[in-house]
Structure 1
Amino acid sequence: MAQLTALDAQFLHFETATNHANIAGLAILDGDVNRSDLQDLLQQRLPYVPALRRKLAPVPLGLDHPYWVREDDLDLDYHVREIGLPPRGDDRQLAEQVSRLHARRLDRSRPLWEIYLIHGLSGGRMGLYTKIHHAAVDGIGGADVLAALLDLTPEPAPPPAVPPEEDEEPPTPLAMVGHALTRLAANPAQAVRFAAAAVPHLDEIPVVSWLPGAGLVSRLARRAAGAGQAPRLPQLPAPRTPFSGPLSAHRRFAFVSLPLEEVKEVRRAFGVTVNDVVMAVCAGALRRWLEAHGGVPDRPLVAGVPFSLREAGRSEPGNQVTIMTAPLAVHLEDPVERLRHVQQAMRRIKDRFSLAPARWLREFSESMPAALMGLAARSAFGLVGQTMPPINVAISNVPGPQFPLYVCGARLLTHYPVSVITDVSGGVNITAFSYNGSVDVGVVTDRRMVPDPWELTHDLRKSLDELRNEACRDTP
């Protein structure tokens, strides 16, 4: 039976009354889906989706990371729920409902997911909110879970011909303790190996990279190991903003769809990538918001950008992701300068990442005794979040399918990511998902820090228009 990795377990450990590790998506469907039909579809496909049919099995005394065990009596009446919006049923009412759902922690005694059918949305549409714990999946794994509900045609596809894999029997409590003691004995040696391996990458680790001499030590260590010179990463402390510091327990959510072709117009005009354009659009929107709420800092914001550690052709369970930090040039007034600044920063990070993927977070987590990880994670989050948060904002751009998909016969119109904010990563998360000709952007904020995230979605639209105007000006 699969055991959570140290990185998976971190997403359990850092949760508090104000920090939640739910990742989710809000699908807007053309038409209404019946709850029993969705439950029937899940009943057929759950055997092929391990993340949805497993629950946590803690190790006695918390000596090791929990295990995933099969839930033999999965209660779909609990996991699949339905609610209705009040009259008008507009997008703001939908987003407010999602805000409340997203701030609720999942029940750890059950499989860590919930689905809500949200009826009453105007225009004959329906919302489908799917929430799963980050300990079970990362962003790519979450997309795989969503894919279990989706079809290429209005008619649901039959179950795969290949039988699902059978789960192994869970270990006994005595076996869990024995394995935990073995791991505990190996931790000191593993920590030494991590320390030696981490020295060449000190300049990649937030907070540590700010220490005097960290960059020099990293370069000398790489040279001594014969690794050659790697592109230098930007080292800027995150400026204080209205969305820096400890979070409240409440969230706000808003969303917007941007035409993918307009993003590509900017990409072609300036010879950059789609991801560069998305990052620059976010930079422009955040600059506009900061101008209206306290002023723009005189240096870049620091964005946390997820990078996948999954190797091509391999499908490993759990979290295979790391966070790289990138400067976000909100301090530059000219939109083209902001775009060029983003392009250069992302190119340096990708070049560095291609030489040696940043696995330090996963390796560091594995080097710590499991019994200490919970306390260490919560203590570190509390201390760093209150004193010197290394990140201002989390931004992610996930490419998706460019053809229509269906859920129980209803066409998927848009799909908005609903992601995570923490004390350490800042009170704003902007995640984009491209689907069938549009870039669907979900904005999650702390309710106290950014009470109206719709301002940011409007600013995203204005920021893209600004870049398109510059692209037209530069086109002969």
Structure 2
Amino acid sequence: MGRYERLTVLDELFLHLEGPDSHMHVGGTAIFEGPPPDYEGFLDNVRRRLQMVPRFRQKLMTVPLGVGRPVWVDDTHFNIEYHVRHTALPAPGDRTKLNRLTARIMSQQLDRDKPLWEIWFAEGLADDRFALISKTHHCLVDGVSGADIMSVLLDLTPEPQEIEFKHWMPEPEPTADQLLLDALRERLTSPAEALRTMQSMLMDPAKAPNRLIEALKALGEFVGGSLDFAPPSSLNQAIGPHRRFETIIAGLEDFKRVKNHFGGTVNDVVLAACTGGLRRLLIGRGERVEGLDIRAMVPVSVRTDERRGSLGNQVASMWAPLPVWETDPIRRLEVITERMDGLKSSGQAVGAQVLTSLGEWAPPTIVAQASRLVARQRAFNLVITNVPGPQFPLYTMGREMEEVYPVVPLAENTTVGIALLSYNGQIGFGIHGDYDTAPDVAVLAEGIEKSVAELVSLVP
């Protein structure tokens, strides 16, 4: 197909889901010990490491007449200083000011005429620390493989990895005729490719009939869940372009103690804490929570071992009903554990993967229309994503990363989102909210923090 790579259906989906107010970039804020390096030195460090991720010097190019998905091509006018920004917090550089800076950065869409990422180098934090605020479009990287990409700028030891600088020469952009011919040729072969994808999912040919039945059943469960409306809530309103951001940090060991004593998984405990926070938020807004299940979209990885480390999205989703009606924190955890066990055995994630592979057959215009239709439906109330990170310290330019808080995008008509990342014995929560419709997003953060403390206090 020439010297470029085409977006997958799921990658393209994130482009169609983006609108003037629903920004489809992910990111996060990482805080490092001081003293900060100088900006020019940091810029040179990024420049040297970009050769390890060529995609970060590529931009999107659309196919004429919309007959094929967009492709990644080298940006012949790539300017690293456009992507690596430098700023400083006003004194005192506290957490509130850093969160406000993160919110402002996340409020601005990425320019699709350039490579879809930014890194902000922010000085002026208390104790002479500094922060890196990253922003990458969801079509470029998903939340699971993002941990692999972060390692490009991070080292395993305080001694920085020596990387020899290599001069980069961009490949010339393909012509419109090339893109059109390649897309038409691929359109003729895509059904066969999708069938091969299905075959790989079925795996053992001897068990193919049973596996096909299971896959189709899973597809039905996922689609059925997607078409059901989530309960009406103030969590679902028309949003604007501006954002709020709050952070909390908790010890991973506390979550393990709770799950070891009461059962379930660390993720179940996380969802229980988030449910407690949502309960406090809704009650604070004067909403009735009796009998109310808030539906969370919980992304799960379907990335195979051979695809690990590659760019692009390999995720599926489950629809998790969160019992905000339950007053007892232990019973709340038990209900969530039982429900999540049922979802894992239901095959919803497999069904989402089957649907994605079938989407390879569909023309881009159909994918665009379908994605916008789904976005307008109230299939879920919010997104909660839990990203497993390394349980050992990481460094950049010899400075240890002390804390990290991820950011999940807000879909159309979704006013809040919760993202977590476990790192070096801690879990950092990033609570993302629409500026206009979620002015009380700090109440949600405080509620999650109190729910964690409540669960921990009940462990003998």
Tell me which residue corresponds to 1:468. Answer: 456
Tell me which residue corresponds to 2:84. Answer: 80
Q: State the alpha-carbon separation in 2 of the partners of residues 339 and 146 from structure 1.
A: 32
* Aligned residue-pair number: 439
**Among 348, 351, 354, the residue aligned to 2:342:** 348
Tell me which residue corresponds to 1:202. Answer: 220
**Among 305, 323, 329, the residue aligned to 1:312:** 305
**Among 349, 367, 371, the residue aligned to 1:373:** 367
Tell me which residue corresponds to 1:229. Answer: none
**Among 442, 445, 452, the residue aligned to 1:457:** 445
Task: Sort the Cα spacing of 1:191 and 1:412 in 2 relative to 1 into closer, same or farther, 3 A.
Answer: closer
Q: Does 1:335 pair with 2:329?
A: yes
The answer to whether the 8 A contact 2:301-2:315 is kept is: yes
The answer to whether the 8 A contact 2:76-2:170 is kept is: no
Matched residue SS, 1:157: coil
Amino acid at match of 1:403: F
Q: CA deviation at 1:406?
A: 0.9
Tell me which residue corresponds to 1:444. Answer: 432
Amino acid at match of 1:350: K
The answer to whether the 8 A contact 1:287-1:296 is kept is: no
Tell me which residue corresponds to 1:173. Answer: 176
TM-score (norm 1): 0.85
The answer to whether the 8 A contact 1:191-1:368 is kept is: no
Amino acid at match of 1:204: F
Q: State the alpha-carbon separation in 2 of the partners of residues 398 and 60 from structure 1.
A: 37
Q: Which whole-Å deviations, capped at 9, do the CAs of 1:245-275 have from their partners, x for residues lacking one?
A: 3222111111010011111111111122111
Q: State the alpha-carbon separation in 1 of the partners of residues 452 and 33 from structure 2.
A: 27
The answer to whether the 8 A contact 1:26-1:129 is kept is: yes
Tell me which residue corresponds to 2:206. Answer: none
Q: Does 1:55 pair with 2:59?
A: yes
The answer to whether the 8 A contact 1:257-1:441 is kept is: yes
TM-score (norm 2): 0.88
Q: State the alpha-carbon separation in 1 of the partners of residues 189 and 31 from structure 2.
A: 49
**Among 158, 162, 169, the residue aligned to 1:158:** 162
Tell me which residue corresponds to 1:233. Answer: none
Task: Kindly report which structure 2 residues correspond to 1:58-137, keeping only aligned pairs within 5 A, or say none.
Answer: 58-137=62-141
Amino acid at match of 2:392: F
Q: Which whole-Å deviations, capped at 9, do the CAs of 1:78-117 have from their partners, x for residues lacking one?
A: 1111112122221111111111110111111111100001
Gaps spanning 5+ residues in structure 2: where? 199-211
Amino acid at match of 2:437: M
Q: State the alpha-carbon separation in 1 of the partners of residues 132 and 331 from structure 2.
A: 39
Matched residue SS, 1:175: helix
Q: State the alpha-carbon separation in 1 of the partners of residues 164 and 450 from structure 2.
A: 45
Tell me which residue corresponds to 1:21. Answer: 24
Matched residue SS, 1:323: strand
The answer to whether the 8 A contact 1:51-1:145 is kept is: no
Matched residue SS, 1:451: coil
Matched residue SS, 1:97: helix
Matched residue SS, 2:92: coil
Q: State the alpha-carbon separation in 2 of the partners of residues 423 and 323 from structure 1.
A: 17
Q: Which whole-Å deviations, capped at 9, do the CAs of 1:28-58 have from their partners, x for residues lacking one?
A: 1111132212211122211111331211122
Among the aligned pairs, what percent are the same residue? Answer: 37
Q: State the alpha-carbon separation in 2 of the partners of residues 310 and 93 from structure 1.
A: 36
The answer to whether the 8 A contact 2:298-2:384 is kept is: yes
Amino acid at match of 1:203: E
The answer to whether the 8 A contact 1:29-1:127 is kept is: yes
Q: Which whole-Å deviations, capped at 9, do the CAs of 1:426-456 have from their partners, x for residues lacking one?
A: 3211111111111111010111221132222
Q: State the alpha-carbon separation in 2 of the partners of residues 35 and 168 from structure 1.
A: 29
Q: State the alpha-carbon separation in 1 of the partners of residues 169 and 338 from structure 2.
A: 48
Q: CA deviation at 1:182?
A: 3.8
The answer to whether the 8 A contact 1:307-1:321 is kept is: yes
Q: Which moved more, 1:122-131 or 1:197-206?
A: 197-206
Q: CA deviation at 1:300?
A: 1.0
The answer to whether the 8 A contact 2:219-2:350 is kept is: no
Amino acid at match of 1:443: I
The answer to whether the 8 A contact 1:279-1:342 is kept is: yes
Q: CA deviation at 1:132?
A: 0.5
Q: State the alpha-carbon separation in 1 of the partners of residues 396 and 296 from structure 2.
A: 34
Task: Kindly report which structure 2 residues correspond to 1:228-247, keeping only aligned pairs within 5 A, or say none.
Answer: 237-247=229-239
Q: Which whole-Å deviations, capped at 9, do the CAs of 1:168-219 have from their partners, x for residues lacking one?
A: 8764422221232345567899999999975652221256554xxxxxxxxx
Q: State the alpha-carbon separation in 2 of the partners of residues 354 and 289 from structure 1.
A: 29
Task: Sort the Cα spacing of 1:405 and 1:192 in 2 relative to 1 into closer, same or farther, 3 A.
Answer: closer
Q: State the alpha-carbon separation in 2 of the partners of residues 165 and 314 from structure 1.
A: 26
